[in-house]
């Protein structure tokens, strides 16, 4: 049987009718379009992953050292995840490897930047607390909107209650509900209510801002006698950046990006950056005092420093953050009830902390829920491991 002559592609194409040619063209165009869409998806997906990873690293390693990043720190962090659903679905259909990368990156962002932790949101019952555990509550009383703390206090049943921006007189004006605390002390805006004797009280004061001659008390050191063990508790309230952030909303935060050295905008960047440099210097001064402490130490209060930033990292580098080690959920404490849809009407920042040194282990940490005051309280149960 003779071999068939090879087919001529040009003749085959000529034999196709018009409808077949249209179908072939549409098929080729469809394949090309899908290929382009996949390429676009791959590029945009991995570019978004790179952006999130750079953002995570920059906030923690640079943070308040750059005024643009400082401004970003106080925004609802969930905003940076808004593009994620629009990339995840097509990635699930077309690019499984990209989908997995996006999921992992989202988890890293939620864990590191948003601060989510898996853990119990219930306080440890009194019956399960030993003689080596101490439960503390920290609360910024300022602008509390006549919303009482008793409900959270009665739920947690703390041994120590520390107040910023309020003092004992303001707290007791809410009503008689603190009779379990036998000892009280007050130093300016700082107050401590304790079940254990208070040995001493001393303010921690530094020049702020520099070169003005003005000094600011940023903390008070309380020393208690805890069944024969002396414990140092620092009640902290660092300055609020509220006014400067409101000013930055007009666009000044962009100087952190466009204030390139050698340009006229560089001077504006330097002037605006001075404020954040002062804050970091103030934190560093406080840290030097804390590092010199000889007693088992707990450091609590309103640091006005978001948990994802560089300022928080300064404290977290030598102290342990109770929420990070034993917290539940996001642990947000500010700004109480809001109208912000990104935060579902609740807080979106963690500014109030309970830190502790190597003498302790944190068993449980939880933030107050639902109360619409400006700050919500935070509580932790700590175990003294060196007692």
Tens digits of per-residue pLDDT, 262-300? 788 888 888 889 899 999 999 999 999 999 999 999 999
- Going across the sheet that includes 215-226, the strands are 198-207, 215-226, 229-237, 297-302, 352-356, 320-321
Taking the CA atoms of the chain, what radius of gyration do you get in angstroms?
Answer: 28
User: How much is the average pLDDT of 206-213?
Assistant: 73
Give the model's confidence band at 50: pLDDT under 50 very low, under 70 low, under 90 confident, else very high.
Answer: very high
CA distance 367 to 336: 11
Cβ–Cβ < 8 Å for 184, 191: yes
* Confidence check: pLDDT of 341 > 90: no
Domain 126-384: top CATH class? alpha beta
* Confidence check: pLDDT of 146 > 70: no
Q: What is the pLDDT of residue 1?
A: 47
User: How much is the average pLDDT of 26-37?
Assistant: 67
Write out pLDDT tens, residues 296-311: 999 999 999 999 999 9
More confident residue, 318 or 41: 318
Give the model's confidence band at 26: pLDDT under 50 very low, under 70 low, under 90 confident, else very high.
Answer: low
User: How much is the average pLDDT of 340-349?
Assistant: 77
User: How much is the average pLDDT of 219-232?
Assistant: 97
Q: What is the pLDDT of residue 346?
A: 80
> In the chain, what percentage of residues exceed pLDDT 90?
61
Lowest-confidence segment of 27-41, 80-94, 354-368 by average pLDDT: 27-41
Write out pLDDT tens, residues 194-206: 999 999 999 999 9
User: How much is the average pLDDT of 43-58?
Assistant: 95
CA distance 49 to 52: 5
More confident residue, 24 or 107: 107
Q: What is the pLDDT of residue 195?
A: 96
Residues 6 or more apart whose Cβ sits within 8 Å of residue 163: 139, 140, 141, 170, 171, 190, 191, 192, 193, 235
Residues 6 or more apart whose Cβ sits within 8 Å of residue 245: 71, 74
Average pLDDT of every residue of the chain: 87
Q: What is the pLDDT of residue 20?
A: 57
Q: What is the pLDDT of residue 285?
A: 94
User: How much is the average pLDDT of 56-75?
Assistant: 94
User: Residue 291: beta bridge partners?
Assistant: none
Residues 6 or more apart whose Cβ sits within 8 Å of residue 120: 328, 364, 366
What is the pTM assigned to this prediction?
Answer: 0.88
More confident residue, 183 or 177: 183
Q: What is the pLDDT of residue 35?
A: 75
Cβ–Cβ < 8 Å for 300, 236: yes
**Cis status, amide bond into 335, omega within 30 of 0:** yes
* Confidence check: pLDDT of 90 > 50: yes
Neighbours of 341 (CB within 10 A): 8
* Confidence check: pLDDT of 8 > 60: no
Q: What is the pLDDT of residue 387?
A: 65
Q: What is the pLDDT of residue 169?
A: 76
Write out pLDDT tens, residues 124-136: 999 999 999 999 9
Q: How far is CA 149 from the centre of its chain?
A: 23
* Confidence check: pLDDT of 315 > 60: yes
Q: What is the pLDDT of residue 37?
A: 76
């Amino acid at each position: 049987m003779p071999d068939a002559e090879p087919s001529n592609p040009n003749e085959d194409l000529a034999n196709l009718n018009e409808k077949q040619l249209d179908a072939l063209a549409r098929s080729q165009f469809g394949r090309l379009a899908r290929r382009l869409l996949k390429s676009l998806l791959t590029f945009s997906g991995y570019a978004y992953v790179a952006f999130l990873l750079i953002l995570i690293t920059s906030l923690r390693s640079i943070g308040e050292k750059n005024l643009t990043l400082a401004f970003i720190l106080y925004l609802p962090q969930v905003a940076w995840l808004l593009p994620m659903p629009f990339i995840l679905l097509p990635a699930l259909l077309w690019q499984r490897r990209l989908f997995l990368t996006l999921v992992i990156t989202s988890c890293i962002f939620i864990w590191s930047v948003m601060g989510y932790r898996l853990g119990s949101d219930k306080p440890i019952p009194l019956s399960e607390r030993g003689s080596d555990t101490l439960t503390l509550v920290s609360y910024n009383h300022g602008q509390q909107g006549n919303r009482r703390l008793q409900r959270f206090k009665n739920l947690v049943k703390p041994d120590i209650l520390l107040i910023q921006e309020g003092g004992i007189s303001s707290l007791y004006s809410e009503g008689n509900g603190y009779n379990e605390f036998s000892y009280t002390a007050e130093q300016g805006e700082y107050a401590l209510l304790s079940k254990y004797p208070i040995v001493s009280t001393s303010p921690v004061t530094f020049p702020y801002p520099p070169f003005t001659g003005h000094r600011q008390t940023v903390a008070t050191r309380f020393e208690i006698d805890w069944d024969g063990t002396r414990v140092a508790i620092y009640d902290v309230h660092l300055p609020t950046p509220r006014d400067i952030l409101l000013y930055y909303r007009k666009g000044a935060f962009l100087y952190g990006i466009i204030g390139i050295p050698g340009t006229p905008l560089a001077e504006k960047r330097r002037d605006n950056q001075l404020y954040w440099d002062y804050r970091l210097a103030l934190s560093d001064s406080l840290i030097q005092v804390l590092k010199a402490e000889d007693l088992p130490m707990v450091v609590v209060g309103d640091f006005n420093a978001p948990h994802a930033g560089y300022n928080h990292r300064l404290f977290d580098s030598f102290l342990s953050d109770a929420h990070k080690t034993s917290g539940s959920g996001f642990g947000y404490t500010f700004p109480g009830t809001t109208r912000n849809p990104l935060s579902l009407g609740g807080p979106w920042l963690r500014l109030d902390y309970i830190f502790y040194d190597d003498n302790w282990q944190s068993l449980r940490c939880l933030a107050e829920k639902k109360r619409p005051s400006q700050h919500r309280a935070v509580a932790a149960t700590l175990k003294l491991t060196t007692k």
